[in-house]
């Protein structure tokens, strides 16, 4: 009998090596590929060395240095602890036969920017990696999710994971986005609406006309940040846009294999009568540019709105959370968010550092200059993105506007390298997490799209990009 | 992996929601290539001030809770980054079990892989536990995984845990070793799978 299945169901079923319980709620899941970084993988390799276990399929892993490397152009010296991580990483990749893009490699970049851009993320794959933003790969109809170091070890040794099936949530974006509104705003509006744990225990599938209209890069932003509402998987059924994107990548299959694969890929979708455990519908026309005011990604408002007043919140736990966030962020209840002054602006991260993001920000900055008292940096998502941007002259727009033009890495998104906010410094940031101390001890983060970061850097305060440029 | 059967110990209340892994283990403690020294990093910015001195107001710095073995937390505990260092730090500090209304998925799995028992309970039950252990005289609990019970003064709460997770916690099993028992099955699956998806064979 035909049982209607979601795309998520189909991917999990297709990768099930064996059921671990009666109802196949837990399965041994075959994983197609991983990407490794220098800070979550070392203990996994050490465990393999101690147990004298080989890597099951070395060709299905790629190592990329991204978290600890400096991004200042020409800076090569790194602190001793970071050097120890990068050298042990190189040693592990070499000894276990895994390809590595180290700090000086021409293809180096942020893992979730590098993997798709070279064509290593293919529709229908399951990809698990030691970084929570592995959900990015859902933009290609691949099930990507983050795992801890013990599961990296499990993957490397067995090519599988012990996996518990998630619930399914459909998020439908109805209609087209208004001018000046980006996929970052969509995902921030979703997180604000369902909460920071609203999709915990679920895999999201994004559907609807608004999603189809998005570019692949915009879809990556959406899937990337789905983890901020707890989703451990975010899928978009592959379409012709995915095929076009992949056909330009260096490692996608070619010729006969391409014909075979692309035909299969285009058939990957949820059955039309599949039932989702939860449904969320977003009206595109109601979404506006978003900014966070607090210390959790769900503490966000439209740029035209005000900082909330905790006294209006009846639930004591929520009220306390707002009070705590306002104290950390040093904000007043009722303050219009577009009056919040900033001292720093950051464009980068696996959420928003791809070429379209840089073009979008550069359009805002062209012919303008950042406000005095603001320091601004732009960190391209990969060295390929950096080269492409330079070929288009975007670097000159950024530097003329007063931005520093950097080399690639995770940089100030989590500040594991030397790109750090000072205590009490306030930053407009195109990243994904506004947690306390995330970008530096005592630093204050406001999340938003890259175009909004650019507009805010120019204004010296959080600003509505729609007022700066005649928007498409 | 350390086994968990029945543990008696002090429980510390941390009621805030969305306590993320950046708060549990800040980035400056992620610079090692082994698992050592993470007890110092646990809740670092909550426990220590800018000079590195303990903040007396933080509950783990108070004598009655300092030796906590259990943590009663707010919803969505462990959200954010996948860093397993958060779990290692909790265990190195001496935490054996965390009870919360909900956990972030990656963190929840990381707990299971390390023998840290993570128990999900309803909002009302978590509140009862938070209220109880907020009093130093009543902050000792006994958690019995075999019988799936949490006992404190005048209170007994049943909890549920999936049987596979329970079994591996009780026995302290090595998951990789377990899975490699299915080595031949994985090989067979892989061979068929790659034959049907030949484009996945190439790099």
| Contacts of B196 by beta carbon, 8 Å cutoff, 6+ apart | none
Q: Give the 3-state secondary structure of chain A.
A: CCCCCCHHHHHHHHCEEEECCCCCCEEEEECCEEEECCCCCHHHHHHHHHHCCCCCCHHHEEEECCCCCCCCCCCCCCCHHHHHHHHHHHHHHHHHCCEEECCCCCCCECHHHHHHHCCCCCCCCEEEECCHHHHHHHHHCCEEEECCHHHHHHHHHHCEEEEECCEEEEEEEECCCCCCCCHHHHHHHHHHHHCCCCCCCEEEEEECHHHHCCCHHHHHHHHHHHHHHCCCCEECCCCHHHHHHHHCCCCCCCHHHHHHHHHHHHCCCCCCCCCCCEEEEEEHHHCCCEEECCCCCCCEEECCCECCCHHHCCCHHHHHHHHHHHHHHCCCCCCEHHHCECCEEEECCCCCCCHHHHHHHHHHHCCCCCCCCCEEEECCCEHHHHHHHHHCCHHHHHHHCCEEECCCCCHHHCCCCCCCCCCCCEEEECCCCCCCCCCCCCCEEEECCHHHHHHHHHHCECCCHHHCCCCC
Tens-place pLDDT, residues A421-440: 999 999 999 999 999 999 99
Asked if residue B162 belongs to a domain, the reply is: yes
Asked if residue A319 belongs to a domain, the reply is: yes
Q: Looking at the predicted structure, is the pLDDT value of residue A184 above 60?
A: yes
Assess whether A317 and A385 both reside in one domain. Answer: yes
The pLDDT confidence band at residue A219, using thresholds 50, 70 and 90, is: very high
| Contacts of A453 by beta carbon, 8 Å cutoff, 6+ apart | A345, A346, A347, A361, A428, A429, A430
Assess whether A140 and A236 both reside in one domain. Answer: yes
Assess whether B195 and B160 both reside in one domain. Answer: no
Which among B32, B110, B199 has CB closest to A150? B110
> Rounded to 5 degrees, what are φ and ψ at A471?
-90, 145
Assess whether B33 and B107 both reside in one domain. Answer: yes
- Choosing from A237, A258, A279, the residue where a domain stops is A279
Assess whether B147 and B202 both reside in one domain. Answer: no
Assess whether B13 and B95 both reside in one domain. Answer: yes
A-B contacts (CB, under 8 Å): 186
What range does the domain containing A425 cover? 290-467
Assess whether B89 and B158 both reside in one domain. Answer: yes
CB-count exposure of residue A237 (10 Å: 0-12, 13-18, 19+): buried
Task: Provide the whole-model pTM.
Answer: 0.97
CB-count exposure of residue A235 (10 Å: 0-12, 13-18, 19+): buried
Which among B82, B87, B183 has CB closest to A146? B82
Asked if residue A284 belongs to a domain, the reply is: no
Tens-place pLDDT, residues B103-148: 999 999 999 999 999 999 999 999 999 999 999 999 999 999 999 9
Report how many domains make up chain B.
2
Q: Looking at the predicted structure, is the pLDDT value of residue A2 above 80?
A: no
Asked if residue A412 belongs to a domain, the reply is: yes
Contact A46, A141 (CB under 8 A): no
- Tell me if chain B has a CB within 8 Å of the CB of A39: yes
ipTM score of complex: 0.96
Residue B48 DSSP class:
B
Which among B18, B180, B202 has CB closest to A253? B202
Least confident of A70-79, A450-459, B6-15: A70-79
Assess whether B97 and B183 both reside in one domain. Answer: no
Assess whether B149 and B193 both reside in one domain. Answer: no
Question: What is residue A472's predicted lDDT score, i.e. its pLDDT?
Answer: 45
The pLDDT confidence band at residue A305, using thresholds 50, 70 and 90, is: very high
What sign does the CA torsion over A432, A129, B199, A381 have? positive
DSSP β-bridge partners for residue A161: A29
A 161-200 near B (Cβ less than 8 A): 162, 164, 166, 196-197, 200
- Tell me if chain A has a CB within 8 Å of the CB of B14: no
Tokens of B5: 């059967």
Q: Looking at the predicted structure, is the pLDDT value of residue A21 above 80?
A: yes
Interface with A, mutate which of B84, B90, B187, B191 (most A CBs under 10 A): B84
Q: In the predicted model, what is the mean pLDDT of residues B34-45?
A: 97
Which residues from chain A sit within 8 angstroms of residue B76, using beta carbons? 196-197, 200, 230
Contact B83, B26 (CB under 8 A): no
Question: CA A214, CA A222: separation in Å to the nearest integer?
Answer: 10
Assess whether B154 and B201 both reside in one domain. Answer: no
- Tell me if chain B has a CB within 8 Å of the CB of A397: no
Q: Looking at the predicted structure, is the pLDDT value of residue A153 above 90?
A: yes
Assess whether B136 and B146 both reside in one domain. Answer: yes
Min Cα–Cα distance to chain B from A167, Å = 12
> Rounded to 5 degrees, what are φ and ψ at B21?
-75, -15
Asked if residue A472 belongs to a domain, the reply is: no
Asked if residue B1 belongs to a domain, the reply is: no
Min Cα–Cα distance to chain B from A394, Å = 31
Pairing of strands A16-19, A26-30: antiparallel
Interface with B, mutate which of A148, A158, A197 (most B CBs under 10 A): A148
Assess whether B164 and B177 both reside in one domain. Answer: no
Q: Looking at the predicted structure, is the pLDDT value of residue A3 above 90?
A: no
CB contact under 8 A, A157 and B15: no
Assess whether A273 and A318 both reside in one domain. Answer: no
- Choosing from A225, A258, A279, the residue where a domain stops is A279
Q: Looking at the predicted structure, is the pLDDT value of residue B60 above 70?
A: yes
Among B18, B21, B37, smallest CA distance to B29 is for B37
What range does the domain containing B15 cover? 6-172
Q: In the predicted model, what is the mean pLDDT of residues A96-114?
A: 97
The pLDDT confidence band at residue A458, using thresholds 50, 70 and 90, is: very high
Asked if residue A198 belongs to a domain, the reply is: yes
Distances (CA, A) of A380 to A330, A390, B103: 30, 11, 33
Which residues from chain B sit within 8 angstroms of residue A46, using beta carbons? 33-34
Pairing of strands A26-30, B117-120: unpaired
Which residues from chain A sit within 8 angstroms of residue B79, using beta carbons? 196-197, 230
Among A296, A160, A141, A298, smallest CA distance to A219 is for A141
Assess whether A252 and A332 both reside in one domain. Answer: no
Residue % of chain A over a pLDDT of 70: 99
Report how many domains make up chain A.
2
DSSP β-bridge partners for residue A29: A16, A161
- Choosing from A279, A305, A325, the residue where a domain stops is A279
Q: Give the 3-state secondary structure of B103-137.
A: ECHHHHHHHHHHCCEEEECCHHHHHHHHHHHCCHH
Assess whether A255 and A393 both reside in one domain. Answer: no
Min Cα–Cα distance to chain B from A434, Å = 10
Tokens of A135: 């959900």
Tens-place pLDDT, residues A352-408: 999 999 999 999 999 999 999 999 999 999 999 999 999 999 999 999 999 999 999
Assess whether B46 and B27 both reside in one domain. Answer: yes
Assess whether A268 and A301 both reside in one domain. Answer: no
Which residues from chain A sit within 8 angstroms of residue B74, using beta carbons? 317
Min Cα–Cα distance to chain A from B118, Å = 15
Interface with A, mutate which of B106, B130, B182, B198 (most A CBs under 10 A): B106
Question: What is residue B202's predicted lDDT score, i.e. its pLDDT?
Answer: 62
Assess whether B30 and B82 both reside in one domain. Answer: yes
Distances (CA, A) of B37 to A289, B21, B31, B113: 42, 16, 11, 19
Question: CA B180, CA B178: separation in Å to the nearest integer?
Answer: 5
Assess whether A308 and A235 both reside in one domain. Answer: no
A 407-466 near B (Cβ less than 8 A): 414-416, 423, 433, 435-438, 441
Assess whether A94 and A118 both reside in one domain. Answer: yes
Question: What is residue A202's predicted lDDT score, i.e. its pLDDT?
Answer: 98
CATH number at residue B141: 3.20.19.10
Question: Within 13 A of A54's CA, how many CA atoms are on the CB side?
Answer: 6
Residue B155 DSSP class:
E
Asked if residue B23 belongs to a domain, the reply is: yes
CB contact under 8 A, A415 and B110: no
Coil vs helix vs strand at B160: coil
CATH number at residue A77: 3.30.499.10
CB contact under 8 A, A436 and B30: no
């Amino acid at each position: 009998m035909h049982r209607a299945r979601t795309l998520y169901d189909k991917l999990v079923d297709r990768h099930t090596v064996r059921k671990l319980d009666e109802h196949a709620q837990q399965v041994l899941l075959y994983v197609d590929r991983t990407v490794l970084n220098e800070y979550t993988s070392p203990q996994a390799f050490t465990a393999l060395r101690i147990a004298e276990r080989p890597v099951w399929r070395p060709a299905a892993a790629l190592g990329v240095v991204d978290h600890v490397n400096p991004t200042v152009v020409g800076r090569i010296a790194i602190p001793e602890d970071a050097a120890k991580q990068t050298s042990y990483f190189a040693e592990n990749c070499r000894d276990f036969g895994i390809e590595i893009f180290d700090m000086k490699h021409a293809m180096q970049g942020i893992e979730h920017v590098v993997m798709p851009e070279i064509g290593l993320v293919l529709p229908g794959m399951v990809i698990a990696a030691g970084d929570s933003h592995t959900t990015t790969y859902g933009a290609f109809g691949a099930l990507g999710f983050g795992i801890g170091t013990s599961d990296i070890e499990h993957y490397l040794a067995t090519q599988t994971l012990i996996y518990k099936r998630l619930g399914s949530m459909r998020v439908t974006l109805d209609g087209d986005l208004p001018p000046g509104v980006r996929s970052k705003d969509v995902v921030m509006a979703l997180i604000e609406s369902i909460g920071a744990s609203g999709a915990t225990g679920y895999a999201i599938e994004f559907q609807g006309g608004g999603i189809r209209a998005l570019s692949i890069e915009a879809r990556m932003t959406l899937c990337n940040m789905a983890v901020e509402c707890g989703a451990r998987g975010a899928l978009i059924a592959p379409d012709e846009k995915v095929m076009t994107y992949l056909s330009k990548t260096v490692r996608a299959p070619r010729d006969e294999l391409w014909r075979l694969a692309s035909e299969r890929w285009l058939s990957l979708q949820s059955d039309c009568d599949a039932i989702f455990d939860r449904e969320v519908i977003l009206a595109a026309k109601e979404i506006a540019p978003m900014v966070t005011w607090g210390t959790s990604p769900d503490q966000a408002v439209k740029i035209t709105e005000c900082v909330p007043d905790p006294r209006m919140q009846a639930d004591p736990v929520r009220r306390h959370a707002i009070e705590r966030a306002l104290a950390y962020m040093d904000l007043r209840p009722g303050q219009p968010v577009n009056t919040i002054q900033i001292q720093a602006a950051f464009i980068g991260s696996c959420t928003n550092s791809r070429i379209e993001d840089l073009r979008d920000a550069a359009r805002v900055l062209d012919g303008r200059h950042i406000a005095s008292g603001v320091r601004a940096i732009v960190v391209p998502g990969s060295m390929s993105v950096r080269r492409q941007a330079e070929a288009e002259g975007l670097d000159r727009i950024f530097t003329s506007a007063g931005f520093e033009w950097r080399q690639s890495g995770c940089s100030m998104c989590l500040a594991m390298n030397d790109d750090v906010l000072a205590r009490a410094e306030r930053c407009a940031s195109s990243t994904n997490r506004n947690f306390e101390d995330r970008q530096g001890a005592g630093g204050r983060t406001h999340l938003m799209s890259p175009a909004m970061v650019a507009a805010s850097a120019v204004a010296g305060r959080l600003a509505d990009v729609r007022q700066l440029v005649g928007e498409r | 992996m350390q086994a968990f059967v029945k543990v008696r110990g002090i429980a510390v209340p941390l009621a805030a929601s969305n306590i993320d892994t950046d708060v549990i283990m800040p980035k400056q403690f992620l610079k090692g290539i082994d698992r050592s020294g993470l007890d110092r990093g646990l809740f670092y910015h909550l426990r220590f001030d800018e000079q590195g001195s303990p903040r007396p107001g933080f509950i783990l710095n108070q004598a009655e809770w300092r030796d906590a073995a259990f943590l009663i937390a707010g919803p969505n505990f462990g959200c954010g980054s996948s860093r397993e260092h958060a779990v290692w730090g909790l265990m190195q500090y001496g935490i054996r079990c965390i009870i919360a209304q909900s956990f972030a998925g990656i963190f929840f799995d990381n707990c299971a892989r390390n023998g840290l028992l993570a128990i999900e309970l309803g909002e009302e039950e978590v509140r009862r536990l938070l209220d109880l252990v907020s009093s130093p005289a009543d902050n000792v609990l006994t958690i019995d995984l075999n019988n799936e019970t949490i006992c404190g003064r005048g209170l007994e709460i049943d909890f549920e845990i999936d049987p596979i997770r329970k079994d591996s916690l009780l026995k302290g099993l090595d998951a990789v070793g377990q899975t490699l028992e299915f080595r031949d099955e994985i090989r067979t699956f892989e061979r068929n799978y790659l034959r049907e998806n030949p484009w996945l064979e190439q790099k």
